[in-house]
Structure 1
Amino acid sequence: MEALRSIPCLVQKFQGLLYSTAMAVPTKAVEFYLDSRRLIEELVQSYTEPYTDKLLPDLLPQEQHVFTLVLDLNETLIHYIWTRDTGWQTFKRPGVDAFLEHLAQFYEIVVYTDEQNMFVDPVIERLDTKHCIRYRLSRPATKYQDGKHFRDLSKLNRNPGKVLYLSGHALESCLQPENCVPIKAWQQQDIDDTALLDFIPFLEFVARSSPSDIRPVLASYEGCDIPSEFIRRSKEHQRRMQEQKHRGRFWK
């Protein structure tokens, strides 16, 4: 991080040095400046942009209909803390095992976090013993912007209409708010949390009904608690279906 902050200062100092040199040797200095500036820009981009434009491999032809469920890690699936007495401790959110195992039947599940590989890999190995998570993306796959690491779903190599990003900090950590599915951020003190389990009916319905574009669906839930609103809408739909059935019987 310090390296990122120091890059603009280095560029300014370097440009000043090259300008003074150019007064004496204009042509060579300009060529040297252009080559060096290109190298610096490439260095800056390597820190700020995802390492590739295709973070995930192509879907198989028979999987083109499958939705991709992108999950954040900290305060979404787990919570970790550090204390002087215990060091680092990682806690698993209640319901995470059932959540992953059930939804792996319907989704391509991807973990996308701003944590480093050295942290993510051992945590996922312990968290996902049944290998429900197909891919894991860590900090080098994020876009560094305005001092934060953002998830850039446009780099996933997936149809944007079939991507959902579930996170306890969804709207603050993703560059595509139209794909965001906010969930309550979790900390280990909340041992009665059911948020992951509460989302299963909605997410299964999406996978089974397979809308052509999930973004208008998510927009219709904006400002709502999605699991609660989904149950309300489902009950309302059932009520209307019952009314139609009774009308049909009456007119017969």
Structure 2
Amino acid sequence: MVSKIIRRTPTKSIKDCRKNGRRKKTPVKCSSSSSSPSVVIATINESFFSCRRRLVKIFSKIVRIATPKRSPKKQGFRKLKKSAFESTNEFLIPRMVEPEIAKPLFFGLPPLENPEKKTIFLDLDETLIHSSSDPLSKHFDFVVRPTIDGETMTFYVLKRPGVDKFLEYLCGKFEIVVFTAGLREYASLVLDELDKNKVINHRLYRDSCRELDGKYVKDLAQMGRDLWKVVIVDDNPNSYAFQPQNAIPIKPFIEDLQDNELSKLIQFFEASEGVEDIRDAVKLFTHEGVQQNLLDC
């Protein structure tokens, strides 16, 4: 006797069986033999949607736990700072940072109280004074004991002949700036003794110089002064390498008590009072100095 196979085909689709958000379950009857393809598909769909509902519930709980509750008060969005990395197309790529270009240091002076005044930059060692860590052979004017790198040192200082008169003359007509490549710890003590009458307007030390090939250069262009109203007096040509047209070279002073270089400078500044661009006067003065040195030879 051949068994009768009962095929039950759902009369409604899965979509039509949903009611009030729920899908009506339809019992599936199988025969004693193998199931039909329609029944297998219906069973797979049922399992898929059941898993989907469970996953949705799980992720909903996770979102509620991970997301902080907002207060009833309206809150805006806070703009986050950019980090070293920026998001682009869902990938993190390093942001290209341009290397910083080395800029010249700026050690500008305070504004001039009298814009009509010209500025005189004066070197210290071998220009206004001579100092030595050993007692000078003839005599010295004062002693300073700076502490450098934790060690106290002694320097015997000899003033250049005429330096007091020279500074006194300049103070009424020019802005005086002592610009030295010496260390602040040492030079500040020397200037305290040298400038008892407080005629020097500003002091600049090694930390205001620019280092070039191991040499200290005094860049006048960074001082906040018009170069046509600036003169530098220095015994070291490296110091004014950037602005040689503003420089008056001076013979280094060691222990020559008959030295009269500062007296010559007073004559130069007296003659250049009416010159608009002091560099013209400097050019004439240094040219005459070269000629005089040639004649002396």
- The 8 Å contact of residues 73 and 112 in structure 1, kept in 2 or not, is answered as yes
Kindly tell me the number of residue pairs found equivalent between the two proteins: 185
Q: Distance in 2 between matches of 1:214 and 1:84?
A: 40
SS at match of 1:224: helix
| Higher share in helix | 1
Post-superposition Cα deviations, 1:134-174, rounded to whole Å, max 9, x if no partner, equal 000011111111111100000111111010101112x3211
Post-superposition Cα deviations, 1:2-51, rounded to whole Å, max 9, x if no partner, equal xxxxxxxxxxxxxxxxxxxxxxxx955x86xx58x65xx77xx6xxx54x
SS at match of 1:73: coil
SS at match of 2:245: helix
**Paired residue for 2:256?**
190
Query: Is it true that 1:204 corresponds to 2:255 in the alignment?
Result: no
Equivalent of residue 96 in structure 1, options 163, 168, 181: 163
Over the aligned positions, Cα root-mean-square deviation in angstroms equals 2.8
**Paired residue for 2:177?**
110
Post-superposition Cα deviations, 1:195-240, rounded to whole Å, max 9, x if no partner, equal 1122111112223x1x2211122223344328x79xxxxxxxxxxx
Q: Distance in 2 between matches of 1:183 and 1:213?
A: 21
- The 8 Å contact of residues 118 and 174 in structure 2, kept in 1 or not, is answered as yes
- 1:87 CA drift (Å): 4.2
Q: Kindly report which structure 2 residues correspond to 1:92-171, keeping only aligned pairs within 5 A, or say none.
A: 92-169=159-236, 171=237
Post-superposition Cα deviations, 1:75-127, rounded to whole Å, max 9, x if no partner, equal 00011112399942221111100110111111111001111111121111100
- The 8 Å contact of residues 177 and 201 in structure 2, kept in 1 or not, is answered as yes
> 2:261 corresponds to which letter in structure 1?
A
Q: Distance in 2 between matches of 1:172 and 1:83?
A: 26
Could you tell me the TM-score, scaled by structure 2's length?
A: 0.56
Q: Distance in 1 between matches of 2:201 and 2:168?
A: 12
- The 8 Å contact of residues 168 and 183 in structure 1, kept in 2 or not, is answered as yes
Q: Distance in 2 between matches of 1:77 and 1:94?
A: 9
- The 8 Å contact of residues 106 and 204 in structure 1, kept in 2 or not, is answered as no
Could you tell me the TM-score, scaled by structure 1's length?
A: 0.66
**Paired residue for 1:71?**
122
Where does the alignment leave 5 or more consecutive residues of structure 1 unmatched? 1-25, 230-252
Q: Distance in 1 between matches of 2:226 and 2:192?
A: 28
Larger relative contact order (Cα-Cα within 8 Å, sequence gap ≥ 6): 1
**Paired residue for 1:224?**
288
**Paired residue for 2:139?**
none
- The 8 Å contact of residues 216 and 238 in structure 2, kept in 1 or not, is answered as no
Greater radius of gyration (CA)? 2
Q: Distance in 2 between matches of 1:107 and 1:155?
A: 19
- 96 and 118 in structure 1: CA distance in 2 versus 1, 3 angstrom threshold: same
